[in-house]
Amino acid sequence: MPIKKIRLLIVDDSLFFRRTLQEFLSSNPRIEVVGTAVDAIDAMDKIKKLNPDVVTLDVEMPKLNGIDFLKQLMPQHPLPVIVVSSAPIRALDALDAGAVDFVRKPEIKGPQDLAHFMTDLIQKIYVASISKVKNQIAASTLSALSRISKLNTNAGQNTVIALGASTGGTEATIQVVQSLPADTPGIVIVQHMPAGFTNMYAQRLNRICKMSVVEAQNGDRVERGKIIIAAGEYHLRLAKDARGYYVQSERGAKVNGHCPSVDVLFDSVAEVAKADAMGIILTGMGADGAKGLLKMRQAGAYTLGQDKESCVVYGMPMVAFDIGGVQKQLPLTDMAGEIIRYLNTRRPL
């Protein structure tokens, strides 16, 4: 039986870029480019007529920019949208507005640059086609806030919280950490994201969280009230000295296709923090972090996984659960409350 092709609509105001995308993507046996649109107004009309499975969307367009377009589109026609943007802040705004993923628009200096971009985009189109868009429009964080009890004084002393996520994870992570108290034990996070975008993401989290948030620098101390986000193209590892925990942020080869890699972080936490750790794996395609989470659990850490219903893509949490790395599966809205409950008791259910 032939494989059902992914019906794709390309939205970009550049004639050159539209034609380039159409030419490359049409040659893929799993993708059918059903149409192109020159701006948001044209795109809305084409979406109604062509019923695409996935949309690629430029951000900077005439008449209506991609962010405002997403805000209009999602309540009426929720479907997977991949934003193509060279601006980190615009890409993050698009994810906040409901896009499932983004890819950085390349500076095309040669055929290799275009080939790398297309490989990345095609993979994201595959993932977007199986994603749950309704979960990308985040459930109210207030529902999670109402279930979070107060963090006891010195609760979770010496505990490190490690979190990993991929597709859909930028907004999922916000739901988890936004409502955590300012004195929550230190958190280290790997979110699959390219260089440049991780710093903007850390700045965004820092504005909305009670805890302080920074992009990782080699040697940063892991402290109460502080969240450290792995830098794009740098692996993040936990280390320990006489003063306590700190991070190593270093370039390295991709692991499981990623740098930073969740497995690299989780492996180091299992080795260094052992039972004084909590591991959390959120939405994402593939298996990065699954084996590392299992190592954390085997070392005595408490491990959580996002459940299928609340995931944009139930890949990484599914694999972690299937191999025994997850002690408890939870919907996204219950994660923050469970973190506080565990820190207050240090007794996993």
Phi and psi torsions of 291, nearest 5°: -65, -35
- Helices 111-129, 15-26: crossing angle, 10 deg rounding: 70
Strand partners, 304: 280, 328
Residue 268 a catalytic site member: no
Which one from 131, 166, 268, 310 is the annotated catalytic residue? 166
H-run or E-run covering 332: none
Residue 192 a catalytic site member: yes
Residue 93 a catalytic site member: no
* 339 three-state secondary structure: helix
Which one from 58, 96, 288, 334 is the annotated catalytic residue? 288
Which one from 96, 192, 307, 334 is the annotated catalytic residue? 192
* Whole-number Å distance between alpha carbons of 178 and 238: 23
Q: Which residues contact 87 (CB under 8 A, 6 or more apart)?
A: 59, 60
Largest CA distance in the chain: 64
Please report, to the nearest 10 degrees, the dihedral formed by the alpha carbons of residues 151, 155, 161, 166 taken in order: -10
Q: How many CB atoms lie within 10 A of CB 325?
A: 24
Phi and psi torsions of 279, nearest 5°: -115, 135
Instruction: For residue 4, count CB atoms less than 10 angstroms from its CB and return exposed for 0-12, middle for 13-18, buried for 19 or more.
Output: exposed
* 323 three-state secondary structure: coil
Handedness of CA 221, 223, 225, 231 (dihedral sign): positive
Q: Which residues are catalytic?
A: 166, 192, 288
